[in-house]
Chain A
Amino acid sequence: MTVQEWTFLLVGLSFALYIWIAYKSRASSTSEFYVAGKGVNPVVNGMATAADWMSAASFLSMAGLIAFMGKDGAIYLMGWTGGYVLLALLLAPYLRKFGKYTVPEFIGERYYSDAARVVAVLCLVFISFTYIAGQMRGVGIVFSRFLEVDINMGIFIGMAIVFVYAVWGGMKGITYTQVAQYTVLIFAYLVPAVYISIIVTNNPIPQLGFGDTLVNGSEYLLEKLDRVTTDLGFVAYTQNTKSMIDIFCITAALMFGTAGLPHVIVRFFTVPSFKDARKSAGYALIFIALLYTTAPAVSAFARMNLIDSIQDVDYVNSPQWFKNWEEIGLIAWKDKNQDGKIRYSAGTALEDTKPKYLGQERGSHGERLLVNPPNNKNDNEVYIDRDIIVLANPEIAKLPFWVIALVAAGGVAAALSTAAGLLITLSAAVSHDLLKKTFMPQISERKELLYSRLATAAAIGLAGAIGVMNLAFVAQVVAFAFGLAASTLFPVLLLGIFYKRLNKEGAIAGMLIGLIFTLSYIIYFKFINPELNSSDYWLLGISPEGIGFLGMLLNLILAITVSSFTKPPPEDVMKMVDSIRSPQ
């Protein structure tokens, strides 16, 4: 069987499984639709949380990013796991004890204010939409490479599948599909990683193989990687290139942002008790850590294999994967010294970085011709899109076809599970927080359930439309969803539980300053003056990716200051805080 046939088979089978599970677990009440009836076992919820959490970015992009960042990649590894400690210790058990359906609902009641709830809904909608758009791109990439369909067609197929099980099953349906999706994605991630680990280091456990010696010699993998990267003009693989303060702030923004993401928090509303919420966060992190500790190993293997398989090779003899990805436009080669050999080293190969091809015109060696002039400041001749590393890795390591197909099915599972979780969170914010709690309090449960299904359908349509439009800025802002979650929602949730004196005025002021400060810093450096986006111009040397941490500190300070000058919250709110703190 060919790769394509295998891919059709495995992706098709996984789709059939998701639909079957969704059919078996349809939602029949708002409680089932929003929080799966609060009856989910903590281990099952941990697994669903892991699938919900690990998006197309974690599955497809992260290892590739780390392969090119080296030690700096730790910002993602620590940033996207450390937040679970904060969730488990500071938020999940208390918010579960509160016992309602959504995050804005807690903010609305804790700060006794419709305005606070609406601000929270706004933050939630903004965070979730930027995030969903990234998932759609992930589905598009997988479909276009492996099923050889148009990217838009891929997005439509993905939307149709999510539509069926999210609208039908609500939170209950997606919880059980996410368990299946976790199984598919972790299997798809580990199988090639184990294979490659054995090939490179003869150690079947990637987490250990990563620190082991190479098969052909006594040199350690990381040692060789340091040596080779330095020779090619890069900073050594195990050294940082970013400044310490920037690494600190980005890691912090990602951690606090994780803990403030509504679609993650809401998963802990689905377990039976606050004790289960604590445990469930621990299980979730075990399931996540399985992928997150494998990823840096995959990165190191991939970087090594990549250099070994293309460096100084004649283009005519270059591996098939190199030409396949060039065909799709994610790899480009410009023969700067006209010797017909591929030369890979530090620096960007082309002016404007991203390749623009001259239609289907071919050069003397059969390579695709480029419009971009070469960047003559360095000798590098190769452009490689970071997103392809995980997908290309099995091909680079020459693994069997079924493994390559499995990775495609895993990538789709990762993207769909995250998109579904976000869609339910979005629709709950609209139908529950805006309609039921703010504008139409008299509607019946049946009506509310209908509205939440309509809201889900509308959100899918909108997310798909954003994916089809393929707006370049969307991919740029996904990472900033974390900065916004850290600087808006996390502080008011934290203080809402641990600082009784915090009142309505403080919470709203805090959220607004966090939102305005973080958003304007990002917009200034990313869209208004992108040419100034370097450490010389950044505030205290903190990049836009890490600024959410500063926004969070501002939010905390302002919220507490404003509260101390205004009147304390009413007695019944104080009582509510006491009750969520109590173990009874």
Chain B
Amino acid sequence: MDDYWKSNLKILFWLLLAWFLVSFGFGIIFSDYLDKFQIGGFKLGFWFSQQGSIYSFVVIIFIYVYLMEKLDKKYKKSKEEE
């Protein structure tokens, strides 16, 4: 149980870091710097603040779902072996 919770917290830490980086990081704090780069008609910082961060949020949630289901299975298996 403790191991399960610790693994869970580790997953949360990395994914929340990613969440912070794509929104507050790329979209706000480093946004003006990223605006020096351009993809198509978008300045990069502007793109992150109005598009990229939202796509990233969706991806982060589904990575979380995947990792937690794997963790749930591992935990269930180790329970059965006891």
Do residues B69 and A211 form an inter-chain contact, with CB atoms below 8 A? no
State whether the Cβ of A64 lies closer than 8 Å to any Cβ in chain B.
no
Cβ of B49: which chain A residues have Cβ within 8 Å of it? 71, 74, 77-78
Do residues B12 and A88 form an inter-chain contact, with CB atoms below 8 A? no
Q: How far is the CA of A515 from the CA of B63 in the complex (A)?
A: 35
State whether the Cβ of A490 lies closer than 8 Å to any Cβ in chain B.
no
State whether the Cβ of A244 lies closer than 8 Å to any Cβ in chain B.
yes
A interface, over-half SS = helix
State whether the Cβ of A89 lies closer than 8 Å to any Cβ in chain B.
yes
Do residues B57 and A81 form an inter-chain contact, with CB atoms below 8 A? yes
Do residues B50 and A77 form an inter-chain contact, with CB atoms below 8 A? yes
Do residues A84 and B29 form an inter-chain contact, with CB atoms below 8 A? no
Do residues A89 and B16 form an inter-chain contact, with CB atoms below 8 A? yes
Do residues B24 and A248 form an inter-chain contact, with CB atoms below 8 A? yes
Do residues A78 and B43 form an inter-chain contact, with CB atoms below 8 A? no
State whether the Cβ of A73 lies closer than 8 Å to any Cβ in chain B.
yes
Across the interface, B29 reaches (CB within 8 A) one of A212, A238, A248, namely A248
Q: How far is the CA of A66 from the CA of B21 in the complex (A)?
A: 23
State whether the Cβ of A213 lies closer than 8 Å to any Cβ in chain B.
yes
Q: How far is the CA of A221 from the CA of B29 in the complex (A)?
A: 25
With A71-B49, A282-B62 as known contacts, state yes or no: A78 contacts B35, CB within 8 Å. Answer: no
Across the interface, A81 reaches (CB within 8 A) one of B15, B54, B65, B69, namely B54
Do residues B61 and A293 form an inter-chain contact, with CB atoms below 8 A? no
Do residues B60 and A293 form an inter-chain contact, with CB atoms below 8 A? no
Do residues A292 and B54 form an inter-chain contact, with CB atoms below 8 A? yes
With A220-B41, A289-B54 as known contacts, state yes or no: A282 contacts B61, CB within 8 Å. Answer: yes
B interface, over-half SS = helix
Do residues A212 and B40 form an inter-chain contact, with CB atoms below 8 A? yes
State whether the Cβ of A275 lies closer than 8 Å to any Cβ in chain B.
yes
Q: How far is the CA of A286 from the CA of B23 in the complex (A)?
A: 17
Residue of B with least CB distance to A224? B41
With A77-B50, A275-B69 as known contacts, state yes or no: A244 contacts B28, CB within 8 Å. Answer: yes
Do residues B64 and A582 form an inter-chain contact, with CB atoms below 8 A? no
Within 8 A of B (CB), among A290-313: 292-293, 296
State whether the Cβ of B36 lies closer than 8 Å to any Cβ in chain A.
no
Across the interface, B5 reaches (CB within 8 A) one of A86, A223, A281, A581, namely A581
Cβ of B39: which chain A residues have Cβ within 8 Å of it? 211
Do residues A89 and B64 form an inter-chain contact, with CB atoms below 8 A? yes
Within 8 A of B (CB), among A205-263: 207-208, 210-213, 220-223, 238, 240, 244, 247-248, 251-252, 255
Cβ of A73: which chain B residues have Cβ within 8 Å of it? 50
Do residues A220 and B55 form an inter-chain contact, with CB atoms below 8 A? no
Instruction: Say how far A151's CB is from chain B's closest CB, in angstroms.
Output: 33
State whether the Cβ of A199 lies closer than 8 Å to any Cβ in chain B.
no
The interface bits of chain B over 41-60 (1 if a CB of A lies within 8 angstroms of the residue's CB, else 0) are 11100110111011101101
Q: How far is the CA of A581 from the CA of B42 in the complex (A)?
A: 43
Q: How far is the CA of A88 from the CA of B59 in the complex (A)?
A: 12
The interface bits of chain A over 54-68 (1 if a CB of B lies within 8 angstroms of the residue's CB, else 0) are 000000000000100
Residue of B with least CB distance to A278? B65
Do residues B41 and A223 form an inter-chain contact, with CB atoms below 8 A? yes
Do residues A583 and B75 form an inter-chain contact, with CB atoms below 8 A? yes
State whether the Cβ of A554 lies closer than 8 Å to any Cβ in chain B.
no
Cβ of B40: which chain A residues have Cβ within 8 Å of it? 208, 211-212, 220
Q: How far is the CA of A583 from the CA of B74 in the complex (A)?
A: 11
State whether the Cβ of A285 lies closer than 8 Å to any Cβ in chain B.
yes
Do residues A582 and B4 form an inter-chain contact, with CB atoms below 8 A? yes
Do residues A211 and B54 form an inter-chain contact, with CB atoms below 8 A? no
Do residues A293 and B54 form an inter-chain contact, with CB atoms below 8 A? yes
Do residues A583 and B28 form an inter-chain contact, with CB atoms below 8 A? no
State whether the Cβ of A82 lies closer than 8 Å to any Cβ in chain B.
yes
With A78-B27, A85-B19, A89-B64 as known contacts, state yes or no: A207 contacts B51, CB within 8 Å. Answer: yes
Do residues B27 and A74 form an inter-chain contact, with CB atoms below 8 A? yes
A-B contact pairs, 9 of them (CB 8 A): A71-B49, A78-B53, A78-B54, A220-B40, A278-B61, A282-B61, A282-B62, A286-B58, A582-B1
